[in-house]
Each structure stands twice: as C-alpha cells, then as structure tokens.
Chains A and B, each alone.
Chain A
Amino acid sequence: MRIVCPFCGARDAQEFSYLGDASLQQRPDTPAGAPLDDAAHAAWHDYVYLRENPPGEHTEFWYHASGCRQWLKVTRHMRTHAISNVEAARPSSLRGAA
C-alpha cells in the first residue's frame, strides 16, 4: 500500500504509522472533579473502546514517521484499501513558509 503524502509525495506504507479513527477528535467534555453519571460514563466508554468498522470509507490518522514527521488524515476504503483522499491533519496556517 502506498500513501500519497501531501508534503512528500507517494511513499510506501512502511514509512507511516497508524493511529486510528480520525473522526474521534473530541474527548467527552466532563468537568474536572465532576462525578461520572451514567451518560458521562457511556460517552467515555464509547470514546475509549468502541470503534466503527464500516465496510466502506473510513477517515484515519497516519503519521509520516520516516518522512516529514507530519500527521495526515487519510480516507481509506476498508474493503479495497483504496485511498481517496490524504490531507494534513493540522490547519494550513501552521505549516510554515509558503
């Protein structure tokens, strides 16, 4: 499998490491010290343990460890592994010189 890094170009998957579901960016908002009620407990259980396994497109984080050391957001088809989109995970304003 090859991933087309938006910074480096097409690279073998062995240059990257996989983090996981890119749609899970928001941690449940539980105030510090507040007791976990059933709803909060369920939200945390879902955030930490439960993952979708869709038989189609999935967005996920990959880290280009052996290249530009940037986090990427990859859209990959779970059945075919076809990658339809790769973009930088962080906003473009932080990327440096134009």
Chain B
Amino acid sequence: MVDVSIPPVVSALAGLATAGQRLGFKDGEAGVQIAELTGVAIASIAARKGLADDLSAKVQTLFGLPLPSEPKRVAAGDVSIIWSAPGQWLVVFESGGRQRVSDLTAALRGLASTTDQSDSRAIIEISGPRVRDVLAKGVMVDLHPSVFAPGNTAITLVAHVGAQLTCIDAAPVYQLMVPRSFCLSFWDWLISSAEEYGISIGAKGDPKKG
C-alpha cells in the first residue's frame, strides 16, 4: 500500500462570513444564529445485502449507538449517526478528521460499503428565536415540535437544493447538510431569508482539526 498523506477537511463557507459578524437587521438581539460546523469528517455507510443486523451490532459495539431504522439522528460524544435511506446512514465525527473514516472503513469491512463524504457536504447550524420563521421560507416539511423534535431528520428540498435537515435541540437548533457545490446558492437564500430578523454569525468546531 502506498502511504498517502491525509488532507484536512476544509471549510465550505470560508470567506463568506466571519464569526462574530452581524448581518441584516441591526436593532436588538439577532433573531437567528448561523454557524458552519467545520473540521468534521463524514462517512456514508451502506449495509451489505442481508447483513444489516450484523452491521447494526458492530456499530453498537464501536460507538454505543444503534443504527436508526427511521429518519432519526443519534449521538454520543463526538460521533453522531444520521439515517440516510433504508440500509444507509451517515456517520459524523466532530474530531479526529479523516482518519476516523479510514478506521471505520476498516472496522466495517465485509459488513458495509463506506465512503468518505467529508468533502461532499457543508454543515450549517441554525438557531435563535426566529429560526422556524427562516426555515418556513424554504422548507416543505412540517417542523412543529410535536412532529419534528430533537433527533428527527429529513432529507428534502430546501429552496430547491437537496438538503438533510436535522433537529438537534429543542431550543430549537437545526442542522442543515447541503452539497458543497450548492453552498453559495444556499447561503444566498439563507441570508436573504434571515436578514429581516437580524443574523449573528457564530463558529462551531475547529477548522484546524480537520
């Protein structure tokens, strides 16, 4: 095997906004906080035919987490697992970089097909008192807390861009995963939709950790 150096995961939104920045309506407290989650490694895993139960057991021993059988997100420590399709999930590592994906690939060999998706998606976290008003402008899924609570996820269209939307806290806090190649277009929509409420740009994760 040739030893190749593993490049860090770079920010998808670098240069668009900086932490601490205030955008849009300037009076009072910002209605929405927006932060890119950087330095995150993502793996997609797809169960091999007939081995979903074995895969689930293996993942349970690796991370202490079940593989959700419906559109849910589960998390423990710096690892979260998000349902993607029947028999398919995303495993998100908030530290350790791509090495975690390589380790997972090795650990799941024979049980699942694993692909590094760290460069495929940008992860944006949105919170604040007006967050649902912003999302209502582009999301077709019902986000009422009685049906879309913490732990629920949806793969859907947001402002015509394919996105995975997850509720991660009742505050509420939502996480949006969008293809990096659509990032600028999505960012334009997000900022245009949120600026009437006032936006504060935050920071999540450490871009150097990759």
Q: Point out the residue from B49, B55, B86 that lies within 8 Å of A70, measured CB to CB.
A: B86
- A57 near B: Cβ within 8 Å? no
Q: Nearest chain B CB to A28's CB is how many angstroms away?
A: 29
Q: Is the CB of B85 within 8 A of A15?
A: no
Known contacts A7-B86, A70-B85; A97/B71 CB under 8 A: no
Asked if B168 is an interface residue, CB under 8 A from chain A, the answer is no
Q: How far is the CA of A86 from the CA of B9 in the complex (A)?
A: 40
What is the chain B residue whose CB lies nearest that of A66? B157
Q: Tell me, yes or no, whether B141 is within 8 Å of chain A by CB.
A: yes
Q: How far is the CB of A84 from chain B (nearest CB, A)?
A: 22
Q: How far is the CA of A70 from the CA of B154 in the complex (A)?
A: 14
* CB-based contact B86/A95 at 8 Å: yes
Q: What secondary structure prevails in chain B residues at the interface with A?
A: mixed
Closest Cβ neighbor of A92 among chain B residues: B86
Please determine whether A8 and B52 come into contact, CB atoms closer than 8 angstroms.
no
Q: Output the nearest chain A residue to B66 by Cβ-Cβ distance.
A: A97
Question: Could you tell me the distance in whole angstroms from the C-beta of A29 to the nearest C-beta in chain B?
Answer: 26
Query: Which residues of chain B have C-beta atoms less than 8 A from A66's C-beta?
Result: 155-157, 162
Q: How many residues of A contact B (CB 8 A)?
A: 20
A14 contacts which chain B residues (CB < 8 A)?
157
**How far, in Å, is B129 (CB) from chain A's closest CB?**
26
- The CA of A12 and the CA of B69, in the complex, are separated in Å by 23
Within 8 A of A (CB), among B145-199: 154-157, 162
A68 touches B85 (CB 8 A): yes
Q: A68 to B140, alpha carbons, bound, how many Å?
A: 15
Q: Is the CB of B155 within 8 A of A67?
A: yes
A sample of 5 more A-B contacts (CB under 8 A), given A10-B142, A68-B155, is A7-B71, A9-B71, A68-B85, A96-B86, A97-B67
User: Which 8 pairs across A and B sit closest by C-beta, in order of nearness?
Assistant: A96-B87, A97-B52, A95-B86, A96-B52, A68-B85, A96-B86, A97-B56, A97-B67
Chain B residues packing against A (C-beta within 8 Å)? 47, 49-50, 52-53, 55-56, 67, 69-71, 84-88, 140-142, 154-157, 162
**15 A–B contact pairs at CB < 8 A?**
A7-B86, A8-B155, A11-B140, A11-B141, A11-B156, A15-B140, A15-B156, A66-B157, A67-B154, A67-B155, A68-B84, A68-B86, A70-B86, A96-B47, A98-B52
